[in-house]
Structure 1
Amino acid sequence: MHRRTGPGENALEPGAARRAAIWQAAIVVPLALATLLGLVVLWPGESPAGSVPVTAESVTLETGVITQIGETDEVGSTEVRMSLTGADMEVPVHVPAEIVANGLDVGDRIEAMFTPAAIGTGTPYIFWDFERDVPLWLLIGAYILVVALVARGKGLAAVAGLALSLAIVVLFMLPALLAGQNPLLVVLVGAGAMMFASIYLAHGISIRTTTAILGTAGGLLVTGLLAVIASDRTNLTGTLSDSALSLTGYGIQLDQILICGMILAGLGALNDVTITQVSTVWELRAANPASTAAQLYRQGMVVGRDHIASTIYTLAFAYVGTALPLLMSAAVIDRTFLDTLATGEIAEEIVRTLVASIGLVLAIPLTTGIAARLARA
């Protein structure tokens, strides 16, 4: 006689659960060990990360508050004054016209580059950036508070997984890439570590979450393979942005970095859809213990197809929002729509979106199939 399982219970019989766990462990444990070994082997000893000073020697960054913004004259110059932090004095500061026109207000806290050698010119203080520490920390605090109130412990565990994933990017991936390690190996190892951290911390270790790990890993491999092929066929070089060109002096293959970005771009969405599909199949099994694996797969894919549609929109709109200034600058040029899409920088965004979307779409039936088989056992 079958016992109906609750939402948080395992839908497998004890013997089948053990067999499923052993089968999963035979795949996931070597994958986890390979990820750990990759972190150890590829961990950068010496890296140029943090080696370039922010300013030249004798130049310092000073903070202050904007106290006055004058009228812009006919040559586009605006008189701006700020009160220096820790000193009872106001000084003129040179601020680019585009900054004045797009968000500078009296009371804003800014950083200014102070050059002692330029004191005789009358403008030794040059705008560097806004001070954003306090607003950013307040926003982070609000985010954590909302997650804690709505999702409670599981939400906080997911935030912890996100923090650990970002630490992997900052402490491992970026230094390793700058140190000249193989970019594809670095991003696959880093993405694998982020996958384990985010899924297991947020959802715990179980047959269900390990099924999601398998589906995510499969999606990452598909995305990586497609990224390599698509970048080669479309002749994407990764050299079209100023930030990318600034890395040429470190001997980094920018086309490989572009591929790495495509792989990472789909990781978060992959985690989302695989966890959702596994949970859907398990709940269907709990609701109807007599369902066959084929029935579970068909019913799970009903949800999966809706998820595919909504997630594709999410990826596409996210990239459009990021590339909006690029699209606007391309739109003012007199050329056909198709020619505009084929330009290098826009083609990079299109390929990135399509590669991540294809990997995502294929991960859904893969994850659903594995989950249906294991849930039915």
Structure 2
Amino acid sequence: MNVLLLLSGILFLLMSLIGGRKGIRSFFAIFLNFAVIMTTVFFMHDPHINPVMLTLAACVVISCINLFYINEINGKTKTAFLSTIITTVILILFITVITNKAMIQGFGEEEIEELGAFSFNIGIDFVKIAVSVIIMSTIGAITDAAIAISSPMREMQYHHPHIGRNELFRFGLSIGRDILGTSTNTLFFAFFGGYLALLIWFKDLSYSISEIVNSKVFSAELITILCAAIGVTLVIPVTSWITAYFLVKNKENS
């Protein structure tokens, strides 16, 4: 507990000094997002609530916190929010199909021994839980990419008020290409950093490459990362088009 308080204090101090008021809001946004996630997990125990719809509602709240609470309500956060929700809905449909086809729901055989003393008959659809896990793992990266594109597009339109919609759209795509590589690699290394112990365990068990790739634990996590990368990639043209459309439209109406 003392270490957690110390690290939290250091983080708050650095975010306050470097980020100012926005840094302070970003710090408290971490705890707000944590509260949303814990509330979502709590309500997932109710068999009458659809976990996917509950996760979608949680994603809307998380997006509001990350965009409107931190960056305030303005043109760039509105377009980023709309782009995030559209991309998330498309991704839910895609992930639902992938999860059903890949059959990654539930626990892998490597986890059964530790959980053997517990009952798996808990009355929850594990396919929907798997979809919820992937979506929740993706929402942060999607909102980050959306605001990273809409913000400079707003600046470009401010400094060049006569820029056309197509030019502004291409500018957004150019920004997206710049952040695409770093965003996807961040997701990739986050996976290997978090599951390095699992990979070492696979090595100790003398798993072959094919056994590792086909194991449910590994494939489930890798599919999560790939779906998150697809979401980040998809949000780039969505945000670019929506932002270009509304910026030029508002300029024409003013």
Same fold judged by TM-score > 0.5?
Answer: yes
Q: 2:223 aligns with which of 351, 354, 358?
A: 351
Distance 1:143 1:334 in 2: 41
Residue 168 of structure 2: which of 274, 283, 296 is its match? 296
Match of 1:252 in 2: 124
Question: 2:45 is aligned with what amino acid?
Answer: L
The correspondence for 1:317, drawn from 176, 180, 189, is: 189
2:79 matched to 1:200? no
Return the offset for 1:329.
1.8
Q: CA deviation at 1:331?
A: 2.9
Q: How many pairs are equivalent?
A: 244
- Alignment partners' CA distance in 1, 2:23 and 2:142: 18
From 204, 209, 215, the counterpart of 2:77: 209
Q: Which residue of 1 aligns with 2:12?
A: 144
Which blocks of at least 5 consecutive residues in structure 2 are unaligned? 250-254
**Cα deviations across residues 255-304 of structure 1 (Å, max 9, x unaligned)?**
32121110000111111110110011111112222211111111221111
Q: Residue 252 of structure 2 corresponds to which residue in structure 1?
A: none
8 Å CA contact 2:172, 2:236 repeated in 1: no
**SS of structure 2 residue aligned to 1:238:** coil
2:216 counterpart of 1:340: no
- CA deviation map 1:319-351 (0-9, x unaligned): 111111111222344454234212111100111
Unaligned runs of 5+ in 1: 1-132
Root-mean-square deviation (CA, aligned residues, Å) is 1.8
User: Distance between the aligned counterparts of 1:313 and 1:337, measured in 2?
Assistant: 22
Say whether 1:178 aligns with 2:45. yes
Over residues 63-99 of structure 1, what are the superposed CA-to-partner deviations in whole Å (9 max), with x where a residue is unaligned?
xxxxxxxxxxxxxxxxxxxxxxxxxxxxxxxxxxxxx
Alignment-derived partner of residue 264 in structure 1: 136
Q: Is the 8 A contact 1:178 1:252 kept in 2?
A: yes
Aligned AA (2:36): I
Report the Cα offset of residue 247 of structure 1. 6.9
2:152 counterpart residue number: 280
Q: Which amino acid aligns with 1:374?
A: F
- State the Cα distance separating 1:367 from its structure 2 match: 0.4
1:370 maps to 2:237: no
Q: Deviations 1:203-239 (Å, cap 9, x if unpaired)?
A: 1111211101011112211221222111111111222
Q: Which amino acid aligns with 2:41?
A: L
Q: Which AA in structure 1 matches 2:144?
A: D
Q: What's 2:199 paired with?
A: 327
Q: Distance in 2 between matches of 1:318 and 1:197?
A: 23
For 2:120 and 2:62, the matched residues in 1 are separated by 27
Contact 1:161 1:199 in 2 (8 A): no
Contact 2:105 2:129 in 1 (8 A): no
Q: Matches of 1:237 and 1:270 in 2, distance apart?
A: 23
Amino acid at match of 1:167: A
Secondary structure of the residue aligned to 1:248 is coil
Q: Give a deviation string over 1:117-176, Cα, whole Å, max 9, x none.
A: xxxxxxxxxxxxxxxx11111111111111111001011112222222211222x21111
Asked if 2 retains the 8 angstrom alpha-carbon contact of 1:266 and 1:356, the reply is: yes
More RCO (CA 8 Å, sep 6+): 2
Among 34, 37, 56, which residue is 1:169 paired with?
37
Greater share of strand = 1
Counterpart amino acid of residue 174 in structure 1? V
Shift of 1:252: 2.1
Larger-gyration structure (1/2): 1
d(CA) in 1 for partners of 2:54 and 2:28?
A: 22
Cα distance in 2, alignment partners of residues 156 and 169 from structure 1: 21
Considering fraction of residues, name the structure with more helix.
2
